[in-house]
Structure 1
């Protein structure tokens, strides 16, 4: 894995098969597909609503203006196919300890079970370690066994902390020392 900073100081990470980099406006269509195919157990504010929001135009605008998409959650591009398949990166969601970012990832269903999430997460962990972070955390729904497997593969362990939602399930808090 290698990491470099672009002139805009954005993080770019590279693995054998993947390039993790800032989003391009034209790739909002991938974000829209992620929103559209989310599990119905995901809370409504993270799915496309009855009025069709977020729209493609809203997601394009988000890429143009929102630092979260441009630097925090990097687009995951397959180098061989030159296609964006999801995101992976670090965010400060405000739910974890001060100064400890959360690892977040989401890939399109059509590329699941090929090791891309694990590969992308390991690249982000290496970058976080080299950036001076000592610990990361991640949240995951108790019913999301695929993401729980990825987190376990990259060294996260479940903590005692949970948040129970009677409708959508239990959020598990995991952590990993770097």
Structure 2
């Protein structure tokens, strides 16, 4: 599984990508719930993330892909489709996260657009994505690519409101 855009290569994650994934964990906004941030013991560690990559099945019609810059081979985050169990059966959730130092270059839009094409070619009829109400950059990416907010919302005291978006393919 490989997806290519003008500037990006999206490919299965490799064990050596764990350092970038760990960096993403360190950069997360403090409003993100604790289970998605480093715990008091500093977990997940790079070793924990390496183990997770080793045990994840290779992406076929769903999975998270490393986002790599073609120009220098640097991995800058992930983007892909996951079956989180929170949506409708057979409708994967779009997930993406990029390193802060790469924000503002259009990489998220480019990566998400490639994943939308992958979902369409894999036979998916609709995608959904959740986004925090305070995450304006990700909300812009989703809106730009045709995701619309639904009436479904989940408020988590102290963290904000999760908005549910969908896109028909």
TM-score normalized by the length of structure 1: 0.91
SS at match of 1:175: strand
Tell me the CA shift for residue 27 of structure 1.
1.3
How many residues align? The count is: 166
1:124 offset after TM fit, Å?
0.4
Whether 1:28 and 2:18 are equivalent positions in the alignment is yes
* SS of aligned partner of 2:42: coil
Which of 5, 13, 18 is equivalent to 2:8? Answer: 18
Residue 54 of structure 2 is aligned to residue 74 of structure 1:
no
Show structure 1 runs of 5+ residues with no match.
1-10
The answer as to 2:125 corresponding to 1:134 is yes
1:50 equivalent in alignment to 2:40: yes
Q: Kindly provide the CA deviation profile for residues 138-171 of structure 1, in whole angstroms up to 9, marking residues without a partner as x.
A: 0000010010000001110000000111121110
Any idea what the Cα deviations from partners look like across 1:26-64, whole Å, max 9, x if unmatched?
110000000000000000110111101001111111111
The C-alpha deviation readout for 1:55-78, integer Å capped at 9, x for no partner, is 1111111111123xx521100000
Aligned twin of 1:37: 27
Distance 1:93 1:135 in 2: 15
Whether 1:156 aligns to 2:136 is no
TM-score under structure 2 length normalisation = 0.96
Structure 2 alignment gaps of length 5 or more: none
Superposed CA RMSD in Å reads: 0.8
Corresponding residue for residue 109 of structure 2? 118
Distance 1:98 1:167 in 2: 30
